[in-house]
Structure 1
Amino acid sequence: MAEISAAAVIAAAEDITGLHDFGGDEWHEALDALTDALATEAGLTEFGEVVAQGDLVGSLTRRLQVVDYRCTHPEVAEMRIERPVFIVGQVRTGTTILYELLAQDPDARAPLTWEVDAPCPPPEAETHDTDPRIEDSRQIQEMMTSIIPDLAAMHPIGPLLAQECVRITGMDFKSFIFPTMYRIPSYARWLLNADMASAYRWHRSFLQHLQSRIPVNRWVVKSPGHIWALDAMMQQYPDARVIQTHRDPLRTIASVSSLARTLRTFAAEPTPIEEVAREWADYVIDGLDRSVDARESGIVPASQVVDIQYQTFATDPVAAVATAYDQLGLSFTAVAEKRMRSFLTAQPAHEHGGHHYTFAQTGLDEQALRERAARYQKYFGVPNEPLG
């Protein structure tokens, strides 16, 4: 059996790398909260214990390696990141396809899955499309889909696809990737009240690392996790351009509950969808309320943010992107448009059978949730959708 403890994770990562400089210790409290929850709440199978320990050891190993590279290449810390574009929409609101479209722009760069899986040494321009780490990442993805066959229908995966920031902040152990992958409500509650400043300092360090050998004109990044930490995000990136996607929160809750339940079967026995939905309903509503707070307080300045309604985006994704570019003061070139349309053509909807879910399966009280979501829906003008 794998030991799920902070001490075991740290010892394993140090043993693998031979390194001991973690770039500070602000991550340690988060790792303690995470390992405690995994050991007491997650209901991990024996295989799941191996998966969870490997997940955490991998995150800490990557952190050690990036810090080591940074120490031996101090010029990396001086690299500028200017006006990055952050996609901050809630889970299952069209953020993934929007992210992939923005990543098609030759003036933009998104961190790719293989780069996040194995960031050291930093990617090189000459071998960016042929790096052997791409195949290593592909094999990891194929292993996951062999164990969770429904995953491909729920969320596109692949080594060359743009990766989400939850994987990056996971190296600081402050990330909603963990409550998505595991049933750990005490950690999620801890995370919602945590100071996220260190996670975004790490986020900047990681982007600097990735661009150290490949110049970047404009970073494009994405994570639903940003919705819970907009204050820390904007403090670290005060010149960020922000795109927030919007969708009926009840549809969002139904979809993410289905996704989380499926992902958790990788490391634990299946749990009732009703239990997962009760948990995620609280997370989603909390995040949406925080996004309203961020607008009302000016944490996210009106001049730096664009809102995209899900139905508008679904009707014509490229037109929605063009409008967002215009509002953010970005140049929407003919080359960018062509590449985006080519990407859409090559990625037909429901190629893996689609993600099937209904709100009724959650067992949640529709009226009660409508009342809880009313502030968000009214503020952003988000319409109700048929729930099914």
Structure 2
Amino acid sequence: MNPQQFLDAATEATGLTDFGDDALFGGDGWRTGLAVLLESIEREANLHTMGEMVVQGELTQYLINRLRIVEHHRRHPEIRERDITPPLVIIGQARTGTTMLFDLLAQDPDHRVPQTWEVDQPLPPPRTETYLTDERIAAADATFALVDSVIPEFRAVHQLGAQLAQECVRITASHFVSAIFPTQYQVPTYLDWLIHTAQEQGHLAGAYTWHRRFLELLQSEAPGTRWLIKTPIHCWTLPELMAEYPGALLVQTHRDPATVMASTTSLLATLRRLGTDDIDTPTLAREFEEIILDGLDRSAVARLDGTVPAAQVVDVRFGDLMRDPIPAVRQVYDRFGWPLTPDVEQAMRTFLETHPREGGGHSYTFAATGLTLSAVRERTARYREHFQVPIEQH
């Protein structure tokens, strides 16, 4: 797990050497992130053979993508002349309906989403005329066969698909300052670095700069009206998000934090089977307790102190979204003054019919987390009271 061997492999694969250490690409914090990640994987991840293969291939590919993105930007500085229209950003925590909302809003042609296939293989830049037929779509779908073979029940927990909208953590992964890594692997040292040191040293801000560079590339030959993006980590990093995209419009989904902890812990335990057999649910819950629960509290603080202007955000409750998604979606359109046309609404209803809701095979209990319910309630009291989040029975 020597960083240099990964750098050398990416350089050999591309013939490129410029990884973009300057401020234009978010600085060189990615090198620290890569080093901390690899050390954490080596000491803590306890990978099985399949997991070792996945790590080797995945991290090398992120570096290959980074080299190619930097090179493309150097050759085509004009792609930065088209600004990123203030994006619509879903910032709810995991297991609060964000994926369903993301996929439904993506049915609106005015919303340009980063699809999985183009995030995985961003170069050459996707083109409008071949966006639905690009050969990378089939290649991306083929990779999910590996997931199905190792964790066949995962699709019951979370949707997979090359043409489904992809989260921002997969974009910032090629900057190596991303929550995707502790989500996939047992790397508590890296997670601690991410939510403390990386923020203190400005590396999270650098990750959002890289995020912008990535979107600039994707929209260069396949533009849209506005970007639609999402990931739960935005709850933790709202100051950095709003600094990079000050005009961003936010949608925050809300659910009982105790249920969020229980469901997220179960999801992560399932996902991590792709890399290891060493899975202990209470340990996993303790790993993510701070980033989830403190992230919720931080989101309340950001609303109270004006980091997120009130006019730029709408709140959607999980219960409302699950009862009837379309009225919940209409909340977003009404809040920002957009028409929800009959054609778009029908496209959303068709998506719901053709993509069964995740969770049908997903059972979980709060007791399995090993956390104390009263402590979770106390820690998230400010969040629950501010957003009037109903408590669920546990």
Out of 35, 39, 43, the residue aligned to residue 36 of structure 1 is 39
**Aligned-partner Cα distance in 2 for 1:33–1:232:** 21
Secondary structure at 2:152 match in 1: coil
Out of 80, 101, 104, the residue aligned to residue 101 of structure 1 is 104
User: Which residue matches 1:54?
Assistant: 57
Secondary structure at 2:94 match in 1: coil
**Aligned-partner Cα distance in 2 for 1:358–1:32:** 36
Out of 7, 18, 23, the residue aligned to residue 20 of structure 2 is 23
**Aligned-partner Cα distance in 1 for 2:2–2:318:** 41
1:381 aligns with 2:394: no
Task: Pick which of 49-58 and 152-161 moved more.
Answer: 49-58
Q: How does 1:1-388 map to 2 (within 5 A)?
A: 4-24=1-21, 25-193=28-196, 194=198, 195=202, 196-350=204-358, 353-387=360-394
Secondary structure at 2:128 match in 1: coil
**Aligned-partner Cα distance in 2 for 1:366–1:5:** 41
**Aligned-partner Cα distance in 2 for 1:59–1:223:** 19
State the shift of 1:353 in Å.
4.1
- Matched to 1:281, the amino acid is E
Is this contact kept in 2: 1:261–1:270, CA < 8 A?
no
Identical aligned residues as a percent? 47
- Matched to 1:338, the amino acid is Q
**Aligned-partner Cα distance in 1 for 2:285–2:153:** 18
- Matched to 2:214, the amino acid is F
**Aligned-partner Cα distance in 2 for 1:368–1:175:** 28
Secondary structure at 2:316 match in 1: strand
**Aligned-partner Cα distance in 2 for 1:78–1:26:** 25
Secondary structure at 1:216 match in 2: coil
State the shift of 1:142 in Å.
1.6
**Aligned-partner Cα distance in 2 for 1:52–1:376:** 36
Is this contact kept in 1: 2:94–2:260, CA < 8 A?
yes
Unaligned runs of 5+ in 2: 22-27
Deviation sequence 1:85-138 (CA, Å, 0-9, x none): 000000110000000001000111101000111110011112111111111101
Is this contact kept in 2: 1:93–1:246, CA < 8 A?
yes
TM-score normalised by length of structure 1: 0.96
**Aligned-partner Cα distance in 1 for 2:336–2:2:** 45
Is this contact kept in 1: 2:157–2:360, CA < 8 A?
no
Following TM superposition, where does structure 1 have runs of at least 4 consecutive aligned residues deviating by more than 6 angstroms?
none
State the shift of 1:13 in Å.
1.0
**Aligned-partner Cα distance in 2 for 1:357–1:273:** 11
User: Which residue matches 2:24?
Assistant: none
Unaligned runs of 5+ in 1: none
Deviation sequence 1:231-290 (CA, Å, 0-9, x none): 111000000000000000111111111111111111111312111112222221111111
Secondary structure at 1:126 match in 2: helix
Aligned length, in residue pairs: 383
**Aligned-partner Cα distance in 1 for 2:357–2:159:** 11
TM-score normalised by length of structure 2: 0.95
Is this contact kept in 2: 1:306–1:324, CA < 8 A?
yes
**Aligned-partner Cα distance in 2 for 1:226–1:208:** 20
Task: Pick which of 226-235 and 94-103 moved more.
Answer: 226-235
Secondary structure at 2:129 match in 1: coil
**Aligned-partner Cα distance in 2 for 1:119–1:320:** 32
Secondary structure at 2:6 match in 1: helix
**Aligned-partner Cα distance in 2 for 1:61–1:364:** 40
